Structure 1
């Protein structure tokens, strides 16, 4: 079989070297050749991409819309696959910097190549599907396990009538609503009938509303079954209504879960709920590194791993609040403990500090702060003992600045929005990730909605937020390398938190702000931003792929550190990766840089 120069080039270039001789010769026959001078624009950002390009000789720069160089490619490098694998549109520019010879592979041939050759598919596709494994119920979405269309009645329905419906449907609960698609007002279980009606000798015609559990805890269909397990264990409940957009979508009960074994994360939470003091809580949270290794080893997606680990931090916080009130007495006025940072976003890993604050009721009287100062110290000290070390920036409820009445918090946010100086931008960035953990949740609901409305409506504030988000840059070096620490303790490593994950977190926050989205989780923000139209489908999918790869590599490196008996951190040595992994990690960083450029220009994606 004769070998042409193109065939010989393909035979010594990955991933084309994985093709059979017959397929490689066939590919060489349909490949084109471009001889171009320096300065030739192979494709322009937003233009159609019709072929995969392979550099035989010369150099090509990949640049963003601001002409900033994202990557320098040389002989043996391929490019153009991102446009071909998405919507056929170039997300960047490709321009030669010297006379070059480019081999072009038509789009249809490229798609056939990645469809029929696993090696080529893995090389060009940045996504990394999870290994085949037995599905763990705790990582399933509630929607996949809940009972849809649960039994309902009005709160004024006589008990005997509701009980008859439960008997006829063979169910253990009935949901009280004012209308079929109205909000959940309460839940009546067989346990409620026994303990609150039969045991007290109430009349059979007493309204359901008199003995039901009002305003029960609910979760959305997108929540994990682990969220239900954790809440049931922590709160001692057996039934969980599932609500979406204010409407009842289903019910998930303990009976639905009895055939499955609870995960170790649920077991840890069970131990935390009964812990008598901070020392006992610390003994439980000391098992988190082992849990992280197990979860990563089971190929769970990063968003599942971090959610389960964050649930443990939430449970520890609420238990410490309960222990604090037991020691200090009941609070003098309503309060709400909130988490920000990674806990607020439900993205905690094996390395987490504490970022928290207290919103106090405007009803608080002079002198009440002494109680909340003591409560904050009790909880923060307990969290530190449990491995959630004190915030280096002192952004904790122990700092009086972050322990204020609701009216002061309103002034804080309004001031940051009206006067967006660098400090205001930093504080606003942290506080937009707030999530209620324990206390009177209604103290935050109205505040969050008003702040998002005001912030999104202030174009100067949004512009400053975007500029602030660009302070964290992906670690891209030239010539397809990484920008690494060159000295010090972490020499020749990449900071996978501040240079890897944080730039994506910042982008997700911008999408949430411009779309007025109350979601705090980064991945959920990107998905919701796509649905709201603040980031395009192509850009969002690319960013999700990049985020998944970066976040999972970070967790895998932490798990490897733990298995070596080391304390996990966020610094990863690229030298520990294979050439394949390094190539894909760098491609992911290029995506992040591209999306940062898009945000800077006010567009969701370069198209």
Structure 2
């Protein structure tokens, strides 16, 4: 794929067949984390279990023509912080923030209709959603109020950020607010520097590991978008360009040590007489944005999976051409690897343009040769069972005697879930969501999906524990662990998880065509 002088993605492990075996259900690893705060058992991860229906506040309704001063009195009398309004059939919201920042400053007059101040449409969330889901929605959209809806979609109340007032809510929202308010790259960097300590605090507050990953991704998304806005590169602003995140960040399951992998897609000229964008100018501008992100503490991919690399920055038509070439000959030009990279992509700007990346992934007529080649790529990631206490460990170098839990534990499950997503025609979501859809499509049995999901969540939690311990001690986080440092129960559970994953890989390897017929 990469020509002379170009940087391509890092090499990945090869693949080979393994003997079929039937795994038993792997018991979940009991989690015991060191904490820096006093946390009772009943308080563990209430974000992930408590429903919004328990937290909703009543609604103050107003008409679109009501004067702003009258609505302010209504809100104050009800001792609430917002009101809802309908205008032309669309539901809107006005909050205390709007009164402070637009009315108090004189931008909007007190006698104007409330519709001039309200934001349309409101962001909604179902009453049965968890606090976790509400917090993520607030972080992703930089809001502090959500309208809670009932089974028929009708508004039943409002939930505010302050209603989710635990530290695990407050700290990410403070970072998100600081990023949104930043007027300089240095101010974004100052906010982003609080991210590692916040991840440690979330871990100590016993927030679920995958929820920590999703919060992490939302905060990084916000920082990248803000840097793009502040940098305001002419070459990026003058064209329709989609900035795309890749890898674990795109799946919303990064770890503290995860790199920032990025790509670019820009629109083709509207007509034959229009001047095409200059790729060199766009990539140079992307390089300056990446420099700003480094300044903010983020680490662009050292292997070259970056938006300033010609391999990962192209016009939409060039991406489509490359995808067709990969499907004609998956083994040529790093086509398999590039398809896997693109399947894990999520646009941060110009979403319709950015989604054209994944739109070209699905082979015409579900070509089995392409799907088989993609499966071989996915099965190239093997759990490391075998040598030292039933683990394959590094035999030399700085990690001698250690096990890479990212490469050997997470990657085999992530890769298989990615293949299932490509086959199913829907690549959004994180790894557990992809596994669930794989079972829904008949590509996995329910037991296989549960086993893989449990193994992924437990290994992810183990890696997060390890990286947070390093952050707390001021060390560089790593995904390498020494099996001898694990307690007996964790080591046994990890070994059983690896064996179960290998057995599922073997069954899919042998019976994949029959499973494909179920989709």
Alpha-carbon distance in 1 for matches of 2:344, 2:324: 16
Q: Are residues 1:549 and 2:458 paired? A: yes
Task: Give RMSD over aligned pairs.
Answer: 4.1
Match of 1:487 in 2: 396
> What is the number of equivalent residue pairs in this alignment?
472
CA shift for structure 1 position 564: 3.7
Query: Is contact 1:341-1:434 (8 Å) kept?
Result: yes
Match of 1:187 in 2: 92
Q: Which has the higher mean CA deviation after the structures are superposed, 583-592 or 345-354?
A: 345-354
Match of 1:335 in 2: 241
Match of 1:498 in 2: 407
SS at match of 1:404: strand
Match of 2:199 in 1: 292
SS at match of 1:541: helix
Match of 2:84 in 1: 174
Query: Is contact 1:146-1:250 (8 Å) kept?
Result: no
Q: 1:264 to 1:228 in 2, by over 3 A?
A: same
Q: Are residues 1:404 and 2:311 paired? A: no
Give the one of 267, 272, 287 matched to 1:361.
267
Alpha-carbon distance in 2 for matches of 1:361, 1:245: 40
Q: What TM-score, normalized by structure 2, do the two folds share?
A: 0.77
Give the one of 297, 309, 333 matched to 2:216.
309
Alpha-carbon distance in 1 for matches of 2:42, 2:412: 31
Match of 1:474 in 2: 383
CA shift for structure 1 position 549: 1.7
Alpha-carbon displacement from aligned partner over 1:106-138 (angstroms, at most 9, x marks no partner):
xxxxxxxxxxxxxxxxxx733436782514565
Match of 2:287 in 1: 377
Match of 2:337 in 1: 426
Q: Are residues 1:508 and 2:417 paired? A: yes
Match of 1:125 in 2: 27
Structure with the higher fraction of residues in strand conformation = 1
Alpha-carbon displacement from aligned partner over 1:481-509 (angstroms, at most 9, x marks no partner):
10111111110011111111111110111
Structure scoring higher RCO (CA < 8 A, sep ≥ 6) equals: 2
SS at match of 2:421: helix
Q: 1:225 to 1:216 in 2, by over 3 A?
A: closer
Alpha-carbon distance in 1 for matches of 2:196, 2:399: 21
Alpha-carbon distance in 2 for matches of 1:336, 1:215: 24
CA shift for structure 1 position 436: 1.8
Match of 2:19 in 1: 68
Query: Is contact 1:332-1:368 (8 Å) kept?
Result: no
Q: 1:495 to 1:176 in 2, by over 3 A?
A: farther
CA shift for structure 1 position 149: 12
Query: Is contact 2:387-2:393 (8 Å) kept?
Result: no
Q: Give the unaligned 5+ runs of structure 2.
A: 1-16, 34-40
Query: Is contact 1:321-1:375 (8 Å) kept?
Result: no
Q: Which has the larger radius of gyration?
A: 1
CA shift for structure 1 position 176: 5.3
Alpha-carbon distance in 2 for matches of 1:69, 1:480: 22
Q: 1:68 to 1:258 in 2, by over 3 A?
A: closer
Alpha-carbon distance in 2 for matches of 1:590, 1:292: 31
Match of 2:4 in 1: none
Alpha-carbon distance in 2 for matches of 1:534, 1:146: 39
Q: 1:125 to 1:570 in 2, by over 3 A?
A: same
Alpha-carbon displacement from aligned partner over 1:282-320 (angstroms, at most 9, x marks no partner):
444344333333333333322012112222221221121
CA shift for structure 1 position 198: 7.8
Alpha-carbon distance in 2 for matches of 1:421, 1:149: 59
Match of 2:7 in 1: none
Query: Is contact 2:61-2:84 (8 Å) kept?
Result: yes
Q: Give the unaligned 5+ runs of structure 1.
A: 1-65, 71-79, 87-123, 180-184
Q: Which has the higher mean CA deviation after the structures are superposed, 501-510 or 374-383?
A: 374-383
Summarize the alignment of residues 76-155 of structure 1 with structure 2, pairs less than 5 Å apart. 83=24, 125-128=27-30, 132-135=41-44, 138-139=47-48, 147=56
SS at match of 1:520: coil
Alpha-carbon distance in 2 for matches of 1:339, 1:241: 29
CA shift for structure 1 position 69: 7.7
Alpha-carbon displacement from aligned partner over 1:547-593 (angstroms, at most 9, x marks no partner):
12211111112223334432111111001012222111100111211
Alpha-carbon distance in 1 for matches of 2:413, 2:206: 22
SS at match of 1:224: helix
Match of 2:5 in 1: none
Alpha-carbon distance in 1 for matches of 2:87, 2:410: 42
Q: Which has the higher mean CA deviation after the structures are superposed, 307-316 or 221-230?
A: 221-230
SS at match of 2:220: helix
Query: Is contact 2:241-2:267 (8 Å) kept?
Result: yes
Match of 1:440 in 2: 350
